[in-house]
Amino acid sequence: MVVQGVNIRKKHQRSYTVGGQTVPGRIIEFEAPIHISNVMLVCPQCNRPVRVGIRREEGRRIRICKRCGNEIG
């Protein structure tokens, strides 16, 4: 998945020649996919970014704060 604005990468492309025409070098900006596990959630109880764990309950996946055990959205 891609989280917007989180993982902007810049790629420098050098100029190259194709068919006698020179294509100037440029900087390409793109959003790289970031794994959901790398996204820090702010726990409302701890009021700081925390790691989240998954608890399964009745087939549902519940995200919990690994710090205080609070359920997060």
Pick 3 or 72: Cβ nearer Zn ion: 72
Q: How many CB atoms lie within 10 A of CB 60?
A: 8
Size of the site for Zn ion (CB under 5 A): 7
What's the closest the beta carbon of residue 57 comes to Zn ion, in angstroms?
A: 18
Write the binding mask 14 to 43 for Zn ion: x where contact by CB under 5 A, - elsewhere: -----------------------------x
Q: Cβ closer to Zn ion: 23 or 68?
A: 68
